[in-house]
A and B are shown apart, each in its own frame.
Chain A
Amino acid sequence: MALAATLSPAPRAVATDADFELSARCPPSFELTARGACEFRDRYQFYDSLQGRGVGGTRTSLPPHRDGFTPAEIDLGRYLFFDPILSGDHTMSCASCHRPDKGLADGRPRSIGIAGRDAGRAAPTLWNVAFLERLFWDARAESLEAQATGPLFSPVEMGNEPGRLLASLNGNATYRRLFRQAFPARTGAIDVDQVGRALAAFESTLVSFNSRYDRYAHGYATALDEREIEGLNVFRSFVARCSECHTPPLFTNGEVAVIGAPEPRGRAFDVGAEKTFDAPKLRGGFKVPTLRNVARTAPYMHSGVFGTLRETVEFYNKGRGNAVPEDQALYLHWHISSPNLTEREVERLVDFLQTLTDETFLPQVPARVPSGLPPLDNPVRAAAAPRNPHTRGVDR
């Protein structure tokens, strides 16, 4: 069911304004309501959860989420997301680091920003990002809109500035028309709030709840084979304790946890959420990432230190604090234990993690974007970027 047409669109030399129409339809899994908004619909909504928090077991409702954007806002967000006009030098788009062919991450240990700069941390996947209360590895943003401006205006990511971004967009007749269409109540020039809202609208539609695990959870017992169910039972056992933080149905509980994952050799210690909350006890703490589509988003951890799921599982299995630098006193999470999983259990866990893959609703990369730049990634960038030194292993 992969969308074959999503990759490597052939750029056409000249795009004309008439090429761009915003969709009047909601994306898959969204219903167009009477007031013209797209609302999320999924079978998990037939269930309940304790205190409405969306954490639990197999048949538990999802957490509160963002939706209710119009088809026009969503489709405008899609154009913006894939348009390199958003970056300071017009070489990279949001999709440069959240690539449809890389699990909406980028396959790199740490993302490469404008002019080959080290962006510092790994690009998190955007799958199911509408369900998160806090964004970024260090949990420093509380909305998709607030998150979006982070990379846009970071000198080591997209390297733009609000003035320059708005000048580019307002200087483009197609964008002026599309923003008017998406925001009919607004008059005047395009502003940063509109850009943030459109990007949030698009990102809120990146949903993944049709994995084989989901089929099992909804009651189809043979959706997983014996080995995968064995892995599920290790995953949720109180020996491995994975599901205590990577809690279904989202496979994250949204909290910050200090797990003591190492930095790659030669990199300084990353204090993570200590800075966000000004809390020394959260030193080295990071937001628990979703495991949805985790098999598609190697390498792992905030700094991409582990190349495979197997290496990642082994890190936990090596025991509490096994990689904490000698000069760091970390307040490790209480569920970071020394589970002593057997070789077989480690293998089954990796089997299970691969059942969380579902990219049925991968968004369509536009064949052309309003700037006329090559969508997704300007080839200039590919030439400028250093080769990724990290060699990825392969699970199984």
Chain B
Amino acid sequence: MNRIMTAVLPLAAALAGLAGGLYLGRASKSDVVITDKGSGAQYSGGFRAEGERADEVKAAMAAGSIKNVAGPAGEAVVVVRDGESILQAVKNAAPGTTIRVMPGTYHETVYIDKDDIRIIGVIEAGRRPVLDGRKKLNDAILYSGNDFVVENLEIRNYKGNGVMGQAGNNFEIRNNVVVDTGVYGIFPQLGQNGVVEHNVVSGIADAAIYVGMSDNIHVAHNEVFDSVAGIEIENSRHAIVENNYVHDNAGGLLAFVTPGLPIKTTQDVIFRNNFVVDNNHVNFGAPGSTVSGIPSGTGMLIMAADDVVVEGNVVSNNKVAGIIITDHGHAANITVDPESEPNSDRVRLLDNVMLDNGYDTIPEGKALLLAEGKGGKALDIVRVGPSPGSCIVNRHQYVTAGVGDFAECDFTSTANIATYLLPPVPPRRIDPSERGKVAYLGICSGCHIYNGRMIGPPVQVIQALYLDNPQGIADYIARPVRKRPDYPEMPPQDYLDPDTRLAVARYMLQVRN
């Protein structure tokens, strides 16, 4: 983002034209608008529960009581001891199993492609189970199952990610220590309804905690440091990032829309009550990576994300700026996407504590300050690029550039939005006849038709043979034997579970065309 403010002068001129009508207070000090936090309206939030569970979801969200999005733990528990394999335990585990990992050192990649697995480290007198990739292994924990929980691990020396999710919903990533695990520390992607809390993550070449293309996310009480980026919310919606200690990164908190991804928006993100301090680490991002363009010394960066609310943070000693608000056009290392809306719309800057930011800002920042007649050695909040519908509370407290046209906010607190997490989503119940039909159409119909010869014999003939015996079909298709010299042998369908085999047999017996 070294080019972040390339268009400073023309922009500043344009802003000067906009400013007057929206914020009348700049002309004299007596017009300063002082807003008492307690006096204003509450944020109504950006998430609307829909569907038959809407009332239940609304009530639970309002109560703020949702913490266990993965649902209650099952009864099965297995214990993995030093010298054993966590992965082997996962492979052997049925959904609903808790895998307790005892202190020790484990050199493995643990992948979880089934639902409802909990990997829970046991910490004994400060000793954690350690997953050590020895800089040879790619990822430590890689899950695609739903209802996944991982707690109390120490993860070190991987090349890819510490914890990586691909489309698992209802996840809980908690109390882990993640050090030098490559590109990301904790990276849930393409999932809905997840918690990332109480983790300590450091030494990461991109984002320590990176929430990518996900919905209904809570990131809280984490310490992230010595990384290129602290916490990044990218192409995601309904995320609360609160009570985190974000220090000594090149950039602290990020809300981005990255163009060129299949999910195009970032919307409704609350950054509140975080410590965002001393984010002046040298930027060691990989060449070409998006974060490699972030100027070291950036507290928060909002790029093309909509409805980001910033409240109650302590933002101090970030040398370039406390908060940068920008668009795709002003950002380096960003491609174009005709389907991505490039501006940060409706940024809401509520009360924040901002100290000692922007004392060594980039030249473009200085130029923007100068253009507004501000020559000091500080810069708390800077905006470049369009940011329509944005607002700021108590602007007189900060050194700002480019926010002259921000309105007063029509709310001053997000306290009534406790969480965007949803109650545990029960697994979708699929009617057995539906399961049978879909398997019949998606698999069997490639070789069998009702009343003619295809690869296999007609369904009519099979029906006559098995009449009231669906179990007979279910058993046969798992281990077929050659019955007809004039037909090829049927390949086994043992990859279908027994319930599906029976369902498909039942369906096959009642097909009529």
Chain A interface (Cβ < 8 Å from any Cβ of B): 1, 3, 25, 28-32, 41-43, 45-46, 48-51, 53, 55-60, 209-210, 215-221, 223, 229, 233-234, 236-240, 243, 247-248, 253-258, 277, 279, 281-282, 320, 331-334, 336-337, 360-361
A30→B441 contact, CB < 8 A: yes
Determine the main DSSP class of A at the interface with B. Answer: loop
CB neighbors of A among B134-188 (8 A): 138-139, 142, 144-146, 159-161, 164-169, 182-184, 187
A239→B335 contact, CB < 8 A: no
Please encode chain B, from 253 to 282, with 1 for each CB lying within 8 Å of some chain A CB and 0 for all others. Answer: 000001011110000000000000000000
Tell me how far the C-beta of B261 lies from the nearest C-beta in chain A, rounded to whole angstroms: 7
Tell me how far the C-beta of B99 lies from the nearest C-beta in chain A, rounded to whole angstroms: 16
Does residue B360 face the partner (Cβ distance < 8 Å to A)? Answer: no
B442→A42 contact, CB < 8 A: yes
Q: A210 vs B438: C-alpha distance in the bound complex, in angstroms?
A: 13
Does residue B435 face the partner (Cβ distance < 8 Å to A)? Answer: yes
Select A29's contact among B159, B168, B263, B441, beta carbons within 8 Å: B441
Does residue B192 face the partner (Cβ distance < 8 Å to A)? Answer: yes
B167→A219 contact, CB < 8 A: no
What are some 27 contacts across the A-B interface (CB < 8 A)? A28-B441, A41-B437, A41-B438, A50-B192, A55-B167, A55-B262, A57-B167, A57-B190, A58-B144, A59-B144, A59-B167, A210-B442, A233-B109, A233-B138, A233-B142, A236-B142, A238-B139, A240-B138, A243-B166, A248-B166, A279-B338, A320-B287, A331-B335, A334-B289, A336-B288, A337-B289, A361-B446
Q: A56 vs B215: C-alpha distance in the bound complex, in angstroms?
A: 13
Residues of A contacting B114 with CB < 8 Å?
219
Tell me how far the C-beta of B172 lies from the nearest C-beta in chain A, rounded to whole angstroms: 17
B497→A29 contact, CB < 8 A: no
Does residue B484 face the partner (Cβ distance < 8 Å to A)? Answer: no
Does residue B470 face the partner (Cβ distance < 8 Å to A)? Answer: no
Residues of B contacting A239 with CB < 8 Å?
138-139, 159-160, 182-183
Q: A53 vs B262: C-alpha distance in the bound complex, in angstroms?
A: 7
Q: A395 vs B445: C-alpha distance in the bound complex, in angstroms?
A: 31
A1→B447 contact, CB < 8 A: yes
Select A210's contact among B146, B263, B430, B446, beta carbons within 8 Å: B446
Given contacts A1-B491, A210-B446, contact A46 B435 (CB under 8 A): yes
Residues of A contacting B113 with CB < 8 Å?
57-58, 216-217, 221
Q: In the complex, which residue of chain A has the Cβ closest to the Cβ of B169?
A: A48
A247→B262 contact, CB < 8 A: yes
Select B497's contact among A1, A219, A360, beta carbons within 8 Å: A219
Determine the main DSSP class of B at the interface with A. Answer: loop
Does residue B455 face the partner (Cβ distance < 8 Å to A)? Answer: yes
A29→B430 contact, CB < 8 A: no
Residues of A contacting B187 with CB < 8 Å?
238
Does residue B308 face the partner (Cβ distance < 8 Å to A)? Answer: no
Residues of A contacting B400 with CB < 8 Å?
none
A238→B164 contact, CB < 8 A: yes
Residues of A contacting B430 with CB < 8 Å?
46
CB neighbors of A among B179-204 (8 A): 182-184, 187, 190-192
Tell me how far the C-beta of A61 lies from the nearest C-beta in chain B, rounded to whole angstroms: 10
Q: How large is the interface on B (under 10, 10 to 19, 20 to 34, 35 or more residues)?
A: 35 or more
Residues of B contacting A215 with CB < 8 Å?
495
Q: In the complex, which residue of chain B has the Cβ closest to the Cβ of A320?
A: B288
B91→A258 contact, CB < 8 A: no
Residues of B contacting A217 with CB < 8 Å?
113
A255→B441 contact, CB < 8 A: no
B336→A56 contact, CB < 8 A: no
Q: A229 vs B87: C-alpha distance in the bound complex, in angstroms?
A: 13
Tell me how far the C-beta of B191 lies from the nearest C-beta in chain A, rounded to whole angstroms: 7
Q: A279 vs B259: C-alpha distance in the bound complex, in angstroms?
A: 13
Please encode chain B, from 372 to 413, with 1 for each CB lying within 8 Å of some chain A CB and 0 for all others. Answer: 000000000000000000000000000000000000000000
B190→A56 contact, CB < 8 A: yes
A45→B438 contact, CB < 8 A: yes
Q: Apart from A50-B214, A55-B190, list 4 A-B contacts with CB within 8 A.
A: A1-B455, A42-B442, A58-B167, A336-B288
A253→B262 contact, CB < 8 A: yes
Residues of B contacting A51 with CB < 8 Å?
215, 263
A333→B335 contact, CB < 8 A: yes
Q: In the complex, which residue of chain A has the Cβ closest to the Cβ of B292?
A: A334
Q: A222 vs B214: C-alpha distance in the bound complex, in angstroms?
A: 30
Residues of B contacting A247 with CB < 8 Å?
190, 262
Q: In the complex, which residue of chain B has the Cβ closest to the Cβ of A2?
A: B455
Q: A361 vs B166: C-alpha distance in the bound complex, in angstroms?
A: 29
Does residue B513 face the partner (Cβ distance < 8 Å to A)? Answer: yes
Q: In the complex, which residue of chain A has the Cβ closest to the Cβ of B136?
A: A342
CB neighbors of A among B215-240 (8 A): 215
Q: A361 vs B446: C-alpha distance in the bound complex, in angstroms?
A: 6
Does residue B428 face the partner (Cβ distance < 8 Å to A)? Answer: yes
B336→A277 contact, CB < 8 A: yes
Please encode chain B, from 438 to 478, with 1 for each CB lying within 8 Å of some chain A CB and 0 for all others. Answer: 11011101110100000100000000000000000000000
B139→A46 contact, CB < 8 A: no
A42→B438 contact, CB < 8 A: yes
Residues of A contacting B262 with CB < 8 Å?
53, 55, 247, 253-255
Please encode chain B, from 94 to 128, with 1 for each CB lying within 8 Å of some chain A CB and 0 for all others. Answer: 00000000000000010101100000000000000
Q: A234 vs B445: C-alpha distance in the bound complex, in angstroms?
A: 34
Please encode chain B, from 311 to 354, with 1 for each CB lying within 8 Å of some chain A CB and 0 for all others. Answer: 00000000000000000000001011110000000000000000
Q: A282 vs B192: C-alpha distance in the bound complex, in angstroms?
A: 31
B455→A334 contact, CB < 8 A: no
B142→A237 contact, CB < 8 A: yes
Residues of A contacting B183 with CB < 8 Å?
238-239
B446→A60 contact, CB < 8 A: no
Residues of B contacting A331 with CB < 8 Å?
335
Tell me how far the C-beta of B294 lies from the nearest C-beta in chain A, rounded to whole angstroms: 13
Residues of B contacting A248 with CB < 8 Å?
166
Residues of A contacting B289 with CB < 8 Å?
334, 337
CB neighbors of A among B481-513 (8 A): 491, 494-497, 513
Does residue B286 face the partner (Cβ distance < 8 Å to A)? Answer: yes
Tell me how far the C-beta of B32 lies from the nearest C-beta in chain A, rounded to whole angstroms: 43
Residues of B contacting A237 with CB < 8 Å?
109, 138-139, 142, 160-161, 164
Q: In the complex, which residue of chain B has the Cβ closest to the Cβ of A332?
A: B288
Given contacts A1-B447, A239-B182, A255-B260, contact A50 B167 (CB under 8 A): yes
Q: A53 vs B335: C-alpha distance in the bound complex, in angstroms?
A: 21
Closest 10 CB pairs of A and B: A56-B167, A57-B144, A57-B167, A238-B160, A57-B166, A237-B138, A220-B495, A215-B495, A41-B441, A28-B445
Q: A371 vs B142: C-alpha distance in the bound complex, in angstroms?
A: 55
Q: A258 vs B168: C-alpha distance in the bound complex, in angstroms?
A: 28
